[in-house]
Amino acid sequence: MEKSFLTMRYYETYYYANIVHNVLSDPFPYIRHVHNWYEDREQMFLTPFPKWSVLHDFAEYSIRLLIDEQDGSSAVDRLAANAKADLWIDRAMRHHAMNPEGFRRWASGQGIKPADVSEDDISSYYEELNLTGQVSELIEHLAKEVFYVLFNNRGLLANLNDLVAGVVRDLDPLDCDHEISTSLEGTGRLKRVAIPRWVQRTVLYRDKGLCASCSADIRGLMNSQPDAHYDHIVPLAQHGINDVTNIQLLCSACNLRKGRQPLPPSDRYLTWY
């Protein structure tokens, strides 16, 4: 299989990862933003094993909100007070070797004096950057970095999928578009599908061949039973979805013990050395 690489530049990656972690650990204080995220996401939730997972999508949505805050009214005061200050978006893009024109140069070309900069001017600059596709490219890359950091946290994945299950629970095939209604076998219940090989490889690598519940080493069993131990963290019977973030590796004993009930992932991980 051809190897895929992600260039990690870590520009505030851990800051965004921490925000995503905090929201998923206790969504209630952020319920309006969370609701806005999952509204009209039915197609993503019902599509079996998309490579742009629900964690990618939630991270991307969160980063967009945070960027809007970072280059809001406080940015106007910062630019006016410091001749060397610039926008967050310009710093981030330069860090990722995207070479933006820069807000100050853009403003100068528009005949806007530093003392007269307004939020509307910043919004206009963003609009022009958006037209180039660079903002979307940057945010998509940042979301991939956040996914890379957080995908190892099975407890967080369980929280995310519990949140999604609360939405899926109320989906009725009769109320969904035909294209996605075929993924449901009843209200709030997705059909079981074959787990793709790329998902199996990803989960096996993440869990290092160990049972995500009891930490038993089951790498030797995978050759004879390649599909037996890939388990939905939030079961399909409990409104779980077919997403790479909702799959864990279990030994046969834990898998049988779990049945149709959720089995919380262990917080024990194999150390690097």
Q: Let me know if residue 184 belongs to a domain.
A: no
Find the largest Cα–Cα distance for the chain. 71
The CA–CA distances, whole Å, from 247 to 44, 115, 152, 156, 242 equal 16, 54, 12, 13, 8
Distance separating alpha carbons of residues 183 and 90, to the nearest angstrom? 42
Picking from 72-81, 109-118, 155-164, which range would have the lowest pLDDT averaged per residue? 72-81
Burial class (CB in 10 A: 0-12, 13-18, 19+), 262: middle
Whole-number percent of the chain with pLDDT over 90: 67
User: How would residue 221 be classed by pLDDT, with cut points 50, 70 and 90?
Assistant: low
Distance separating alpha carbons of residues 212 and 226, to the nearest angstrom? 16
Mean pLDDT of 131-140: 94
The angle at the Cα of 92, spanning 80 to 245, to the nearest 5 degrees, equals: 135
Tell me: pLDDT of 262 over 80.
no
pLDDT greater at residue 72 or residue 64: 64
Q: Let me know if residue 37 belongs to a domain.
A: yes
Helices within 133-251 (DSSP H only) = 134-150, 154-168, 178-181, 197-206
Q: Which residue has the tokens 């030994």?
A: 251
pLDDT in tens, 181-215: 889 999 999 999 999 999 999 999 999 999 999 99
The domain in which residue 134 lies consists of 11-150
Q: Let me know if residue 196 belongs to a domain.
A: no
Amino acid making up residue 257 = R
Contact 9, 95 (CB under 8 A): yes
Tell me: pLDDT of 220 over 80.
no
Picking from 211-215, 257-261, 262-266, which range would have the lowest pLDDT averaged per residue? 257-261
Q: Which of 139, 141, 160, 140 is nearest to 150 (CA)?
A: 160
How many folded domains does the chain comprise? Answer: 1
Q: Which residue has the tokens 């609360």?
A: 166
User: How would residue 1 be classed by pLDDT, with cut points 50, 70 and 90?
Assistant: low
What is the residue-wise DSSP string for 64-97?
Answer: HHHHHHHTSHHHHHHHHH-TT---HHHHHHHHTT
Q: At what angle do helices 54-70 and 134-150 cross, to 10 degrees?
A: 120
Tell me: pLDDT of 267 over 80.
yes
How many residues are present in the chain?
273
Q: Let me know if residue 97 belongs to a domain.
A: yes
Please report the sign of the dihedral spanned by the C-alpha atoms of residue 190, residue 191, residue 195, residue 196: negative
Q: Which residues contact 229 (CB under 8 A, 6 or more apart)?
A: 211, 218, 221, 222, 249, 250, 251, 252, 255
Give the three-state DSSP class for 118: coil
Tell me: pLDDT of 227 over 60.
no
Annotate 161-194 with three-state secondary structure: HHHHHHHHCCCCHHHCCHHHHCCEEECCEECCCC
Mean pLDDT of the chain: 90
